[in-house]
Amino acid sequence: MDSDSAEDVQAELDSVEAELEVVALQIAELLEKQASLTSKKKQLLCRLEEPCDSTQPSGSGPAMTKQELLRYENDDFSWSTELEQNLKDVFQLSKFRALQLKAINLSMSGKDLFLVMPTGRGKSLCYQLPAVCSEGFTLVVTPLVSLMEDQLMYLKSIDVEAVSLNASSSKEHAKMVLAEMTDAKAPFKLLYVTPEKIAKSKLLMSRLEKAYNAGRLSRIAVDEVHCCSQWGHDFRPDYKLLGILKRQFPKVPLLGLTATATSSVLKDCQKILCVPEPITLTASFNRTNLYYEVRLKDSISDDSISDISALIKERYKDQSGIVYVFSQKDAETVSADLQKKGVNASSYHANMNPEDKSQVHRKWATNKIQVVVATVAFGMGIDKADVRFVIHHTISKSIENYYQESGRAGRDDKPADCIVYFGFNDIFRISTMVVMENVGQQKLLTMVDYCQNVDRCRRSVIAVHFDEVWDDEGCNEMCDVCRHGNDYITVDITQHAKDVVQIVELAGTLDEKLTPLKVTEAWMGKGPAKRRKMIQTTTLSRLEVEAIITSLLLQGYLSEDFSFTPYTTYFYLKLGRKAPLLKNQSHSITMKMRRTGLDANTVSTTQQTVKVSQVKTKEGKRSGDNAANYPVTKKVKKDL
């Protein structure tokens, strides 16, 4: 075979191999879609078989059928009269919420139980009330000292004796508590400890063993039980050692509580805690009084502080709230900026002096401070009923985190707002923080998808993560997407994708790595003049450019590439697994954008006309919605 023929054959072989690669990717895409549809089909079939009440038990252990569980909803147990009396006299409550009575009866019956219930639905009562009605004391394991203090403040206000042991406990206090654990006349009904205390204090374990043998240890409650699992969003290593409790005290019922665990996380927790056949009760994730909204942060001139301060001073005047931020430095900076704008705010983060943290917490709880500007250190279990707003200055690292953090609003069942500010640059700040976590990137991108979304009910996006089939009618216009209607268009971004991929490919050939900022600027024609001649630049606005790059990252045409130094972690963009699909001329990519200020029924984008889809506008009932407002403009090809 001559050289020309060999070159022709090799060229044809390369073409076939490239085509095979594209076909393989298309097959992978179809298999992914098949798996997703199969999963949804199973959920829908299960929903048809389940009772209509979404608060029915889910995933109950094999030792008890659903029919048998029904009797635990009754009030004919030997302890029922005492429960009712203490509910009214001590806790000042007239009735139980959904699942509370069933969970309490199961715990009082000595059953091991996992309770999955939304933030603010009254999980704490499910071990506090049984503790008051039982001999001895209940051991409560909590992950944060702030959570402990919050519960102790509340219990003290209703005259329920409770104590705690943690790293900041004085020697005198610890000695007193340890002595009273085995004293039949000891006044306290609840003992709060951190998981670190269980893991590291042999003296505490020794006292617990003596209390167990004396019949004084009535139950174990593991709050925020999802922290046990590496697949949970708040994994804590010391939680993995809590299996010792059930191994050492097998006759003591264990109650695990969480607002956010999925079925796979609960299975992991079951193994870690050495609970062979727990009963699992799951309430619907939906809290109807919370309004969910996403607002954009401009990556160049971030005026979110001005927007937040205006909201607090106008819409939430004299109302209590939380502003969550990304870092300890952000907590201090944002707090100081809000103070300058006349907002009564204080910062809260893990690196503060314990006394200062407690002081901020107490002042906020008693309404002497209107707003706490906090990292996630101010979090789990915070039980202030009248929080009217939770604002995220930066997106959370996962949907689970966001659901739990935003859920601190509206615990009194009155309307409250959950607003997240979504900025392009924040994606990559957080990405470098979660790079070492199991599925950290995957969870972050799901949160980004929640924020980028303009066509699906916010609750429907959250529901996917809690294994719940969602009907959009259940939102009742309590999110910005449902309230403002299906006012969006479907835009073809295929040519845009090819342009961006070309930029990343070119960098690769030059042995360069590009940050998202560099890719953005190169596409907008702000790079070196020599480089601009080699790529197709765009006249799209910066917001549109950032939205398209984000969409390509979410859809797998771009991917993350990290570089580690002794001091920091850098985020770069590289080609994703779907990038080769763009070589196929018939392959197209679309994304949905908010339709803003468009009068015509069609919009010209790139090289084709795209019809506006489902343009039905509902009259907005709340001002200030600017979630993903990306006006679509014509792309003008530059001659360079």
Q: Summarize pLDDT for 70-126 with one digit per residue, the tens.
A: 889 888 899 999 999 999 999 999 899 888 999 999 999 999 999 998 876 788 999
Catalytic residue among 102, 123, 189, 592: 123
Q: How far is CA 198 from the centre of its chain?
A: 27
pLDDT for res 217: 95
| Token pair 């001649």: residue | 533
Pick the CATH number of 66-282 from 1.10.3470.10, 3.40.50.300, 1.10.287.3510, 3.30.530.20: 3.40.50.300
pLDDT for res 69: 80
pLDDT for res 229: 76
Measured distance CA(571)–CA(514) in Å, rounded: 9
Write down the domain spans for the chain: 1-49, 66-282, 290-483, 490-611
Question: What mean pLDDT comes out for the span 356-364?
Answer: 89
pLDDT for res 4: 64
> What pLDDT, in 10s, does the model give residues 511-566?
999 999 999 999 999 877 777 778 888 999 999 999 999 999 999 999 999 999 99
Does the pLDDT value for residue 606 go beyond 80?
Answer: no
pLDDT for res 18: 67
Amino acid at 523: W
> What pLDDT, in 10s, does the model give residues 117-150?
887 678 899 999 999 999 999 999 988 777 788 8
Which pLDDT band, with edges at 50, 70 and 90, does 636 fall under?
A: very low
407's CB contacts (< 8 A; 6+ apart) are: 118, 119, 120, 259, 287, 290, 390, 418
pTM of this structure: 0.73
Rg (CA), the chain: 28
Measured distance CA(87)–CA(93) in Å, rounded: 6
pLDDT for res 262: 72
pLDDT for res 104: 96
pLDDT for res 39: 67
509's CB contacts (< 8 A; 6+ apart) are: none
- 480 and 292 Cβ atoms separated by less than 8 Å: yes
pLDDT for res 388: 97
pLDDT for res 259: 81
| Token pair 């279990």: residue | 381
Give the count of alpha carbons within 13 A of 291, CB side only. Answer: 18
> What pLDDT, in 10s, does the model give residues 385-442?
899 999 999 999 999 889 889 989 998 889 999 999 999 999 999 999 988 887 889 9
Fold agreement (66-282, 290-483):
yes
For residue 29 the two structure tokens come to 């895409």
CATH number of 290-483: 3.40.50.300
Tell me the residue ranges of DSSP E strands in 259-379.
Answer: 279-282, 290-297, 320-324, 345-348, 371-374
Which pLDDT band, with edges at 50, 70 and 90, does 475 fall under?
A: very high
Does the pLDDT value for residue 315 go beyond 60?
Answer: yes
Beta bridge partners of 417: 291, 389
pLDDT for res 178: 92
CATH number of 490-611: 1.10.10.10
Residue 123: active-site member: yes
Measured distance CA(102)–CA(108) in Å, rounded: 10
Tell me the residue ranges of DSSP E strands in 541-594.
Answer: 558-564, 569-575, 590-594
Measured distance CA(267)–CA(440) in Å, rounded: 20
Question: What mean pLDDT comes out for the span 287-313?
Answer: 90
Greatest mean pLDDT among 4-18, 49-63, 419-433: 419-433
